Structure 1
Amino acid sequence: MSEVIARTSTGKKQKAASLKPGLWAQIVRYRMSYLFLAPFMLLFIMFTVVPVFTAIGLSFTYYNILESPRWVGLLNYKTLFVNDDIFLKAVGNTLKFAVITGPVGYCMSFVLAWLIHQIPHKYRFFYTLCFYTPAITSGTAVAVVWAYLFSGDRYGMINSWAIRLGILDEPWLWLKDVKTILPVLILVSLWMSMGVGFLAFLAGLANVSREMYEAATIDGVKYRWQELWYVTLPAMKPQLLFGAVLTIVSSLQVFDISVALAGNPSTLYAGHVIMTHLNDYAFVRFEMGYAAAIAVVLFLLMVGLNRFIFNILGDKE
């Protein structure tokens, strides 16, 4: 009797295993879906996955483009964190930059998107265009305007106003003085921070159902800030997460504004960030192995911060 029961249970398990579709069976079954995903996956693998692993491999070599890569192990990373004082200063400047421009730019984007959402629909396009235009303008064009504002002579607009008002006795070298280079770069970056995250917030606000606000009113919500806290923010978690990730990436990848306004290198490396250090070794000195090590450190920094944001705003499910 026990043998019959054992055979029956074994047969049921084999039958269940045969009915359970394998990976290839699922691909065949949903072949049209995989076919539509194929172009994106191919481009993603070719231009994202392969370069990342290539950079990781090159970071353990000495490679100057002219010669074949030569294995040096952890020497590049040891040099970065032990002997390269300029890199450590660039990391400090980048983190200062990210800590200020990231949260402040993120909050500014959401608050402005929320305020624009309160005005009549027919006027929203005009205000959206006004706030979004700096983000789509090239860094070089923006630098021309801000370089005129912060010019170090009497013809600079900020110096001219400050001297007329009696705040300054002589022109201040805003983009050459160590104390003011980084604050100016932070100010310009905040002005340009209304990017894709800003549009994502606008789209998220537009997609919040009116029925949720009506239900909240019945439950006792009376004020706009209560609607924002109890209804809008919970309903916009995907857009908030998307905007946070973009803000982190953009704040850590600052480069154009730093080079255009402060130069490369800046005075005593006061405006030096990780991307300018990477550009220096990759395209000026052509030390690609060392540059790859810098890129890997920046990549790990981005991944770590994004993981932190996912733990805060992401859904555990």
Structure 2
Amino acid sequence: MKAHGKLLGKPLGKALGKPLGTQNRTLWFWVFVGPFFLGLVLFTYVPLAWSVYLSFFDAHNTVSPTDFVGLDNYASMLRNEAFTDSLVTFAVFSAFIVPTTFVLSLALALMVNRVRRAQAFFRSVFFLPAACSYVVAALIWKLSIFNGVRFGLANTVLGWFGAEQIAWLSTTQPPWYWLVIATVRLWLQAGFYMILFLAGLQRISPTLYEAAAVDGARPGWQVLRHITLPQLRATSVAVTLLLVINAFQAFDEFYALLSDSQGYPPYARPPLVYLYYTALGQEQNLGFGSAGAVILALIIAVVTVGQARWFGLGGKED
């Protein structure tokens, strides 16, 4: 009997009760995944759990409170006009940025998908802004394009046509600051969602378009409406959900564009900006701010699940 390879007529791995190499694969799995999993737990799940814990306490200037207040922080937050106004700000922001980004990214994907030469180049060019920091992009918009003085690019262009200069970020009637916020967000994220749509377009079978041409379908809107958009349904739902979630989480561009040495103005405060000043501002009310964060997280979850159910995401047809 051979000492290696078999034991009592059976393969050595089976005789030991498990295939050879299983322990090594498990070990290497944790070697690669372990550090990332540990970081996820320490820097994501633990802070989230501690935030929920703080929301039930009167936590002024401390992260280890002892004065339990139950649901008082939640009740006070829901009655707070500043918090409800921040939700209105989000509604206005998302009502514009979600459909606009959706249409722009889909249009870019359709154009890039039709390109036969240098497609990778155009795909990279449109995606490149997604790698830029929101803070850096906001500062470029604030200091170089919409800085409100005659040396800014926007006011320079207006000067060519004899128009007056505009203080873009401090004019509230009309609210020109929305133009600055919306354009920087569009520039930053349209390329990312273009890649998602482009991936969906490349999964559509060319035979569908060939069959449509045989049936007499006209290229353009008719093909887009009856073939392309239905085939992009799953991608469109995913893009819409991501856009709404990202709109809820808007913070960097608002804070970098509108804040100055005197603080943040009373207008255009999305929920995260308001919670930032509540928890980390002069009041240092961590319990109150944590309650608002939990409420915001629940709103995001309800909206996301509601949209997914409304669009039928995860159904049998998907």
In the superposition, the TM-score normalised over structure 1's length comes to 0.78
Percentage of identical aligned residues = 26
Kept after mapping to 2: 8 A contact 1:136/1:195: no
Amino acid at match of 1:175: L
Alignment of 1:32-47 (within 5 A): none
Match of 1:108 in 2: 104
Alignment partners' CA distance in 2, 1:196 and 1:313: 24
Alignment partners' CA distance in 1, 2:41 and 2:222: 45
- Confirm whether residue 145 of structure 1 aligns to residue 145 of structure 2: no
**TM-aligned CA distance change 1:124 to 1:307, over 3 Å:** same
**TM-aligned CA distance change 1:61 to 1:219, over 3 Å:** farther
Amino acid at match of 1:244: T
Amino acid at match of 2:305: R
Return the offset for 1:98: 0.9
Aligned residues: 282
Q: Which residue, out of 126, 137, 161, partners 2:121?
A: 126
Consecutive unaligned residues in structure 2, runs of 5 or more: 1-17
RMSD (CA atoms): 3.0
Amino acid at match of 1:314: L
Alignment partners' CA distance in 2, 1:85 and 1:163: 40
Return the offset for 1:53: 4.5
More deviation in 56-65 or 274-283? 56-65
Kept after mapping to 2: 8 A contact 1:151/1:174: yes
Amino acid at match of 2:125: C
Alignment partners' CA distance in 2, 1:246 and 1:274: 17
Kept after mapping to 1: 8 A contact 2:134/2:188: no
- Confirm whether residue 222 of structure 1 aligns to residue 221 of structure 2: no
- Confirm whether residue 210 of structure 1 aligns to residue 206 of structure 2: yes
Kept after mapping to 1: 8 A contact 2:141/2:180: no
Return the offset for 1:263: 0.7
Match of 1:289 in 2: 287
- Confirm whether residue 184 of structure 1 aligns to residue 183 of structure 2: no
**TM-aligned CA distance change 1:66 to 1:300, over 3 Å:** closer
Match of 1:59 in 2: 55
Q: Which residue, out of 67, 76, 83, partners 1:79?
A: 76
Kept after mapping to 2: 8 A contact 1:197/1:242: no
Match of 2:268 in 1: 271
Amino acid at match of 2:166: W
Alignment partners' CA distance in 1, 2:273 and 2:216: 53
**TM-aligned CA distance change 1:156 to 1:88, over 3 Å:** same
- Confirm whether residue 162 of structure 1 aligns to residue 158 of structure 2: yes
Higher helix share: 1
Kept after mapping to 2: 8 A contact 1:149/1:157: yes
In the superposition, the TM-score normalised over structure 2's length comes to 0.78
Match of 1:10 in 2: none
More deviation in 102-111 or 218-227? 218-227
Return the offset for 1:195: 4.6
Alignment partners' CA distance in 2, 1:137 and 1:91: 27
Match of 1:238 in 2: 234
Alignment partners' CA distance in 1, 2:51 and 2:237: 28
Match of 1:252 in 2: 248
Match of 2:3 in 1: none
Amino acid at match of 1:295: A
Match of 2:67 in 1: 70
> Per-residue CA shift, 1:116-157, capped at 9, x if unaligned?
11111x322222222222221112221232112111222222
Alignment partners' CA distance in 1, 2:133 and 2:44: 24
Classify the secondary structure of the residue corresponding to 1:202. Answer: helix
Alignment partners' CA distance in 2, 1:81 and 1:68: 22
Alignment partners' CA distance in 1, 2:47 and 2:234: 28
